[in-house]
Amino acid sequence: MASLKPLAGKVCIVTGATRGIGKGIALQLGAAGATVYITGRTLKKREGDPVGGSLEETASEVKKKGGDCIPVQCDHSKDNDIKALFDRVSRDQDGQLDVLVNNAYSGVQAIANAYNKPFWEQDPGVWDEINVVGLRNHYICSVYAAKLMVPRKRGLIVNVSSAGGLSYIFNVAYGVGKEGCDRMAVDCAIELKKHNVAFVSLWPGAVRTENLIHIINEKSFGEGKDVKILEEAITSGETPEYAGLAVTHLAADPNVMKKTGRILIAADLGNEYGFVDVDGVRRSSMRELGFALSFTTKSPIFKKIIPSFIRIPCWMLSLAGNKF
């Protein structure tokens, strides 16, 4: 009997999947029936690691959800490791790669440590901590993925980005990196379109990852009203699997090429495809007027009184970038 799972027979790579959003995406792709290659530097569980997470643990959880998961140790700051990953997938799968999720990120702790410090007071190395894995590596992975996808005339590449690509959040190196992720999706999509390969940028909302929860417990962001609001947004935020549901629905969408070259907000995809978070919560998009006003004015009343279908159009959102 044919499998009913929507991604049966699809081959996916999720980079940086030992924990956090990468793990959430791997779990959902696996549950949807895909063969999922996951990458990271840590193969086995490390005792005493305060954040935790390993390739073996993610692979075992993906398998429990019924997916096929292949862990590949890969340091995404090393070009040779990245090339070896794509060589392996090509060899194993006879050149088939359907989905690449560029998610690996090494900057979360650095961002927290530098919170509220202007760029000139930060160690300039923070740029590399954030953008070598979080931007440069995404480009290199995309080159190798496109080499596999273009001849087969199908595929989907997703950059995991954030609203930091639109306007200032956290720090300069973060925002420039996120805007780079978004622009990479837009520009690569122009060149890939005639080959029927889609490239999008995905903005999750605040996500309660293991790493961020650890950082909050350690008080790495410091103290103060703004920190409290940030911490509340994270602790009540999306589960890491919500971004996974977004990617899974995109990967299963026969019309995904209509979305190529665009920035997609995870909660907008939840509304469009009709999914809620794995904890049962309907997530709000930053494009919902009530949500946006409540967030900017720090007053929950707008979210309560303005219906969620009243939305800010995307063209108006881009004005918040304020670059002209």
Question: What is the token pair recorded at 253?
Answer: 């969408």
Q: Which residues contact 320 (CB under 8 A, 6 or more apart)?
A: 166, 167
> Annotated catalytic residue: which of 37, 105, 144, 174?
174
Q: Which of residues 233-252 bind ligand NAD (CB under 6 A)?
A: none
- In the list 62, 85, 101, 104, the residue contacting ligand NAD (rule: CB under 6 A) is 104
> Distance between CA atoms of 26 and 241, rounded to whole angstroms?
8
- Contact with ligand NAD (CB under 6 A): which of 5, 6, 8, 41? 41
Q: How far apart are CA 179 and CA 188, in angstroms?
A: 14
Of these, 206, 263, 264, 265, which contacts ligand NAD (CB under 6 A)? Answer: 206
Q: Per CB under 6 A, which region of 60-68, 85-93, 98-106, 311-319 contacts ligand NAD? A: 98-106
Backbone φ and ψ for 209, nearest 5 degrees, come out as -85, 165
Closer residue to ligand NAD, CB minimum distance, 3 or 296: 296
And the tokens for 280?
Answer: 């049962």
Piece of 1-9, 11-19, 190-198, 279-287 that binds ligand NAD (CB under 6 A): 11-19
204 makes contact with ligand NAD (CB under 6 A) = yes
How many helices (DSSP H) and strands (DSSP E) are in the chain?
Answer: 14, 7
Reading phi first (left if > 0) and then psi (alpha if -120 to 50, else beta), residue 136 is in: alpha
Closest-CA residue to 179 (of 193, 191, 169, 190): 169
Which C-beta is closer to ligand NAD: that of 122 or that of 196? 122
Q: Which stretch binds ligand NAD (CB under 6 A): 6-14, 15-23, 286-294, 303-311?
A: 15-23
Bridge partners for 159 per DSSP: 102, 201
Nearer to ligand NAD, 278 or 306 (CB): 278
Q: Which is nearer to ligand NAD, 132 or 150 (CB)?
A: 132
- Exactly one of 56, 61, 68, 75 binds ligand NAD (CB under 6 A); that residue is 75
Question: Which of residues 27, 133, 135, 148 is near ligand NAD by CB under 6 A?
Answer: 133
Site for ligand NAD contains 77 (CB under 6 A)? yes
Which of 168/305 has CB closer to ligand NAD? Answer: 168
Q: What is the distance between the alpha carbons of residues 205 and 249, in angstroms, rounded to a whole number?
A: 17
Interactions with ligand NAD, residue window 143-162 (CB under 6 A): 160, 162
Q: Are 138 and 159 in contact (CB under 8 A)?
A: yes
Q: Is 105 a catalytic residue?
A: no
Q: Note whether 13 binds ligand NAD by CB under 6 A.
A: no
Closest contact distance (angstroms) between CB of 203 and ligand NAD is 7
The whole-angstrom separation of Cα 317 and Cα 45 is 42
Euclidean distance between CA atoms 84 and 79, whole angstroms: 9
**Helices 55-64 & 20-31, crossing angle to 10 degrees?**
30
Q: Say if residues 157 and 142 touch (Cβ distance below 8 Å).
A: yes
- For residue 19, state whether it binds ligand NAD (rule: CB under 6 A): yes
Among 108, 110, 114, 246, binds ligand NAD (CB under 6 A): 108
Catalytic residue positions?
Answer: 174
